[in-house]
Amino acid sequence: MTNERLLAPTPAATYRWRWPALAALLLAEAMNVLDATVVQVAAPAIHADLGGSVSGIQWFTTAYTLPFAVLLITGGRLGDIVGRRRVFVIGVTGFLLASTACALAPSAGLLTAFRVVQGAAAAVIIPQTIGLIKAMFSGDEMSKALGGIGPVMGLAAVCGPVLGGVLTHADLFGSSWRAAFLVNVPVSVAVLAIAPKMPEVRAPKRPALDLVGTLLAMIGTGLVVRPLIGGDIATLSGWGWGAVVAGLLVLVLFGLHQRRAAAGSRSPLVEPSLFARRSFSAALVTSAVFFAVTNGLMTVVVLHLQLGLGTDVLDAGLTLAPWPVGLAFASWLAGAHLVRRYPHHTMSIGLAVLLAGVLAAIAVYRTADPTACPMPLLLALGLVGLGVGLFGPAFFTLALQPLRPQEIGSAAGLLNAVQQLGATLGVAVLGSVYLGNAAYGGPSAALHAVQVAFWVAVALVAVSFGAARMMVVP
């Protein structure tokens, strides 16, 4: 956010609480992003405990990421209007209460509903971070502080399944999967303890909320995602395809509304000038497809390990461990040495390494039982993590590079929203491809299902390659 007004009397350069406050902000970011994936390994255990349809395994994740995606930009607007610290505190308080409700949920339906509230609270928290950091830091300190956001969010996203598996297996005080939500309680309390020390900041020119645009985006994405969860996409009913088409039409209506709002000098939810650049539109497609692949594959691996092969929740979580390890190393390598000199090549190499990891996993899954000799699968997932780590820093650098300063805030919010939406679609589509093909029964069907899902991911990576090529600005 640019040209924000600092309401606290202490100048940013001498603000004494800035480092503890930064730690609290990054902790809140990590907690919110972590909760998008922490349930993925625990979901089969939740389903076994609470019952309900098998599609609930997907809903436990998508019920969080969908409102998170759709409400991110509106959450940023609320900070501009009311004050970023105030909205941040409201969001963290809501997240604390929703996490407690999730941990105490007596049924799958109520858990899904509380996950929606969690996702909405996360959408309120995340957009406040950059504005608060800019209010507390200046010069080189601000660059260092902002530079911590990407690695923290990336590691939190991929460490979530591992943490979820460890906490569920630990069964602390008999809490089982509920510990994956209860862990948010002390973290939220710690963040709220530091929050009063943060300065209050808001935009000098307060934008209006685009409630109509927000509602259209929610309805459109909901109609598209709902039929894709829980069934075999290849045999989707006429009603299901009708809902998808209706959702796409609502999203077209959303785009027309945004253009009309901008022409009428109102505050559209999305800045239309961003789409005047082919490179940014291509970046949105790349982001949606890429994060659909990564989040969808993570879900498929977990589903196959627990439902197809019958491994326990700890083994499922630890099987994914090479993924964040590879991501952490490659993110450091890309951010510290590669992106500044070879941004386009780094992004392309990242996609190529990701594709190699997916193909290696397919080769592993051609064996009867990958867990009998787990090392090849661990190496394949580590290769996937390396590809994701190389891609991320280069992608966000290239996506924001050609934009004007006044467009950066809106573009960053939109990229984050599309990332979460892509994650939602990935869990819905790839998860349904696996469940639909595994429904015919038996280990051989499950093994066939995981290979089909990974081949769909190969096709999506190819789409990412094409979209990423269009991001190149002559």
**Is a pLDDT exceeding 90 seen at residue 103?**
yes
Q: In this predicted structure, what is the pLDDT of residue 58?
A: 85
- Contact yes or no for 279/344 (Cβ under 8 A): no
Task: Render pLDDT for 3-42 as a digit per residue (tens, 0 to 9).
Answer: 454 444 444 445 677 788 989 999 998 898 888 888 888 8
For residue 297, give the nearest of 462, 119, 452 by alpha carbon: 452
**Could you tell me which of 324, 386, 383 has the C-alpha nearest to residue 358?**
383
E strands, 103-260, are 201-202
- Let me know if domain 277-474 sits in CATH 3.30.450.40: no
Query: With contact defined as beta carbons under 8 Å apart, do 443 and 367 qualify?
Result: no
Q: Do domains 1-209 and 277-474 have the same CATH topology?
A: yes
| Domain coordinates in residue numbering, the chain | 1-209, 210-266, 277-474
- CATH of 1-209, picked from 1.20.1250.20, 3.40.50.200, 1.10.1200.10, 1.10.15.40, is 1.20.1250.20
Q: What rounded mean pLDDT belongs to the chain?
A: 84
Which band of pLDDT confidence, cut at 50, 70 and 90, is reported for residue 44? Answer: confident
State the average pLDDT over residues 416-428.
Answer: 87
Dihedral pair phi/psi, residue 201, rounded to 5°: -150, 140
A 10 A CB-CB count for 463 gives: 16
Q: Return the pLDDT at 406.
A: 61
The Cα 468–Cα 460 span in angstroms is 12
Going by the DSSP 8-state scheme, the letter that residue 304 receives in this structure is I
Euclidean distance between CA atoms 3 and 5, whole angstroms: 7
Q: Is 104 helix (H, G, I), strand (E, B) or coil?
A: coil
Q: What is the mean pLDDT of residues 198-225?
A: 84
> Out of 74-83, 131-140, 345-354, which region has the weakest mean confidence (pLDDT)?
131-140
Q: How many residues does the chain have?
A: 474
pLDDT at 371: 64
Mean pLDDT of 165-178: 85
